[in-house]
Structure 1
């Protein structure tokens, strides 16, 4: 499986100056190629290469970097067409995107392959091609795990990036995947939420109070900065937004690591609710919209998925319908909105089973995982042919309980 490793460069002032001049020149060249591609409606790699390759070489770019600039521009327009085709760029945003050529920032990341960049892992230095010649002996640093992974599994290109005055190299590593446990010994159900970021079927709760408090403080500071309407305030807003994203990502990493480690130790799999499109399905008060729209549900699910795959732990997504309203007792299964009188409590009106609502939801997710796992591992997948989705496998057909339409009764 592919993982991304980011290490920090520690260049001298002279080395940093050469790197910055090279990065600016490459992005300036990309903007020129982008304007030509937009004006001539030429977006293919080979067509662009025939038109601009010699010009890029004439301004001092090496052969490899000229090729990378052309491919970067072609890929950017391919991505734009894909967003439009898939309906993710519509209305005024689409008109604005199609009305002008794609523009690259002066410090946007640029790829360097092994001909332009060499790694010396023993000395912890890199050698990079620049417009001022080959710059050698640029030190880099990272965690022990990052450096070990980089030395053993790095493959392909590396991206040079300047962010907030700090230089980084982002490398792709092909890490061998652990053997998947085909027959897990049970499942850890994970219910994701706002008050509690995650609750497992084992009863372990990861409270979101610390993250919520942090985000409330950031919201107050953000409102104060937005009221100033100055350039310095906008710069601070960008820095604080990045800090908030890093804080949330670190919190999700910690939660995912603990859940995956528990599953690996006990030989179980991990099951989560499939929350795709939740923002379109849920009606919220205006005061709740910002909280839900910026909450990192999807990120936690992604972290759990790739960490489980790396550890060889089975991972599935199940249908989220009524998980917090259905009784987890196998002999009961009563489902009703009244089973959840408050946000935090669950009490079955049929059998009297009670408990924290998030824990009940995690238990139901765990129960559904077994049916989903059997479904996705069926050799012929007959349910796919009948139009069923994996997340609905093992669930009762709720359409069968609906009243027949008037046309079906002959009326």
Structure 2
């Protein structure tokens, strides 16, 4: 057999590499982004209740209607914005599936998509699997802000999409109102679609407000929002997310969605619909995770690592440049094997492997785990 695969030269995910190393060497795993504490028992019991109540067959292709209504209400509460449950919201098998389906719905061979590095590792492969061309713009340490003049210069007649992520994984930075207004200005009068990855929308700190694209009228009209219940409610293994967009864009999305997923786990959708009736379940999350961030940073304040407190997500970037000149992949592996703590090197998220001598650590862990991790980091 002779064949030509769509994706070549794809390396094993750094998340898999570092987690495997952590398991092999019994290291504390602060690499992969998932909590090591339980989801709310009320939500878990809600899934069992839904199963016993008969929610065991296919959900509607767009998702359980009660859940879509609850999502619509959430947007009204948080952003004074609205998406129609029938035509503008679709429940997906996690945000990654939503991102892949959005790209598949619109990107054709030779179309260009602008992304910002360091970028989450599903973006570029999703673009290239559909024949598109990735145009990467690097974010510079330590602030990791977008240079909007560079974005203007990168736009061509082939630019079909701009993909943003705020709060940003892996750096923990957030886009502000000025950023959104710049993006709105740059795309005005074009046919460019904006894909806004907002999976950490509820994990934002220091009194800041998440600047969702739906807050900006002209931007909302050309944008998809992707979100994740797994990130929000500490159950990443459930793989349930959703996306929102104006009806015309969502219609094109569903044309593809129905043939690669159709629908997702119905009992969990019903449980989430009931759980969302209490808005405090997501309104309290910024305080919950800021306490985690502050605890972690307080515990390592006397270490040799340098840091700027994360503005959002449950990740903290630590600068190790005063400790060693080793590249970040080498140092991350050394920390895992010799010191017993696993992290993620940021250079792997750049096209050209830019190494700023920083590592990403996940602080969505119990306080006991954070204390153990800090004890290790303080000795380095």
TM bucket, shorter chain: under 0.3
Higher relative CO (CA 8 A, sep ≥ 6), structure 1 or 2? Answer: 2
Larger radius of gyration: 1
User: TM-score with structure 1 length normalisation?
Assistant: 0.23
Q: Normalized against structure 2, the TM-score is what?
A: 0.24
Which one has the bigger strand percentage?
1
